[in-house]
Amino acid sequence: MTALKRLFGEGFRVFFLAAGLFAVLAMAVWQLYLTIQALGGVMQLPTAAPPQLWHAHEMIFGYASAALGGFLLTAVPNWTGAKSAPHLFIAVVAGFWLAGRIAVLASGSLPPVLVAVADLSFVPVLAAKLLAQLLKRPKPQQLIILAILTVYWIANLLVHLEWIGLTSDTVWSGLRGGLLTLAAMIMVLGGRVTPGFTRNAMVQSGREDRLPWNPMPLAGFSIAAAITLPLGYLLGLPEGLLGLLALVAGAAGLIRVVLWRGLWTRDKPILWSLHLSYAINAAGLVALGLANLGQGSEIAALHLLGIGGVGGMTLAVMSRASLGHTGRALVAPGPVALAYALVPLAALARFAGSAIPSLYTPGVLTAGALWLLAFLLYVVALWQVFWGPRQPRKPAGRPPA
């Protein structure tokens, strides 16, 4: 099998590589723009929307959609026993994703309807395949993923409707709704894999007590509030109500992560990265709730969610899945473990940049530099994993990472 055919042979390969490369390239453009601005210069981007909107949109609907696509194309067949997507489908849907990125970047010279069609095509094609796989063994807790994915697509649609000129005030609600849909996805999927992977590692190490506790009533409470929150933004609910929803979702998420015995994972980066990013996501929801109630910066809270929550969790999941599904030991390579630590630092720097006006420029530039380094380390360290053959299975008795 050629390396190119192998790349499109499994969803995680092409999409996790694309997510990493895009995280580097898109942030490099944004960093260059900010640096030139800080030096008093002017940089023009070929986008129809202002550069800050391009940056926000492409992090939420560009980078994150690639990470989601790779995860769902890999996880759903495992959940249901359905046949994995064939090479051709993966190549075609990856082409839809790439067409969206090119169209949004070049939107200044393209008809806005064409840009919208190019960017909005990826998720429905992906969702149709996932629906077919999920219906093989339908379960409500898995079908809810498609409902969240639908809200995510609607949020992007609202952005494009304003860019087309059909609405006048839906860009920011769409961007916030999209980001908070990703935060809700972390509450659902992160709340499933983090305690599950931790429990498995503990049991395999011989530990039989004080395992992660994940009470379903608390999980349902946190997930319900988290899913309702982006809907509230898209529907234009009052800020006070949105603040209460965010506080409930975030506080419940923080209680959940405390019950998962995260301290046990302190010498296992492949695990603590999941715990830490889930906790930051929950803390970001709390910060957003407080901001909506008049306490703190909303922009700071949104970046805590976007960088530390979404960025951290996707990096942790993409690296773990790539190693595991290619037969490699579940041990984060040194550069990837360093990347796990850099992303929360980037979130902290960006939070400080918004929360403390005097730190805005150094905070934003530092955050961008840390993000760039983290994802560059990820791409370089796992390059051969994405392109190379699957490794032989390890003996069953080998201790876990």
pLDDT digits (tens, 9 = 90+) for 48-96: 999 999 999 999 999 999 999 999 999 999 988 889 999 999 999 999 9
pLDDT tier at 1, thresholds 50, 70, 90: low
The number of angstroms, rounded, from the C-alpha of 43 to the middle of its chain's C-alpha atoms is 28
- Residue in this structure with the two tokens 């929950």, named with its chain if needed: 282
Distance CA 136, CA 83 (A): 10
Q: Are 278 and 257 in contact (CB under 8 A)?
A: yes
Quote the percentage of the chain above a pLDDT of 90: 92
Distance CA 236, CA 244 (A): 14
- Residue in this structure with the two tokens 């996707």, named with its chain if needed: 314
The number of angstroms, rounded, from the C-alpha of 244 to the middle of its chain's C-alpha atoms is 24
Q: What CATH superfamily is the domain 3-205+215-387? A: Cytochrome c oxidase-like, subunit I domain (1.20.210.10)
pLDDT tier at 292, thresholds 50, 70, 90: very high
Q: How far is CA 388 from CA 73, 293, 302, in A?
A: 19, 50, 37
Task: Summarize the confidence of residues 113-137 as an average pLDDT.
Answer: 94
Distance CA 16, CA 278 (A): 19
Tell which residue, 42, 29, 36, 32, has the closest CA to residue 104.
29
Distance CA 133, CA 83 (A): 8
Task: Report yes or no on whether pTM surpasses 0.85.
Answer: yes
Look at residue 392 in the predicted model and tell me its pLDDT: 80
Tell which residue, 292, 63, 48, 291, has the closest CA to residue 171.
48
Those residues whose C-beta lies under 8 Å from the C-beta of residue 392, and which sit 6 or more positions away, are 327
Look at residue 338 in the predicted model and tell me its pLDDT: 98
- Residue in this structure with the two tokens 């970046």, named with its chain if needed: 303
User: b vs e for 252-266, b when ≥16 Cβ sit within 10 Å of the residue's Cβ?
Assistant: bbbebbeebbbebbe
- pLDDT, tens digit (0-9, with 9 covering 90-100), for 221-271: 999 999 999 999 999 999 999 999 999 999 999 999 999 999 999 999 999
Look at residue 393 in the predicted model and tell me its pLDDT: 62
Distance CA 27, CA 58 (A): 10
Residue 398 clears pLDDT 90, i.e. is over it = no
pLDDT tier at 40, thresholds 50, 70, 90: very high
Type of residue found at 303: H
Question: Domain boundaries in the chain?
Answer: 3-205+215-387
Residue 365 clears pLDDT 90, i.e. is over it = yes
Type of residue found at 355: A
Tell which residue, 89, 79, 93, 77, has the closest CA to residue 18.
93
User: b vs e for 34-57, b when ≥16 Cβ sit within 10 Å of the residue's Cβ?
Assistant: beeeeeeeeeebebbbebebbbbb
Task: Give, as one character, the DSSP assignment of residue 63.
Answer: I
Element (H, E) at 389: none
Look at residue 355 in the predicted model and tell me its pLDDT: 92
Distance CA 297, CA 164 (A): 30
Look at residue 391 in the predicted model and tell me its pLDDT: 87
Encoded tokens for 58: 């492409």
Tell which residue, 275, 319, 366, 273, has the closest CA to residue 16.
319
Using CB atoms within 10 Å of the CB of residue 357, give its burial: 0 to 12 exposed, 13 to 18 middle, 19+ buried: exposed
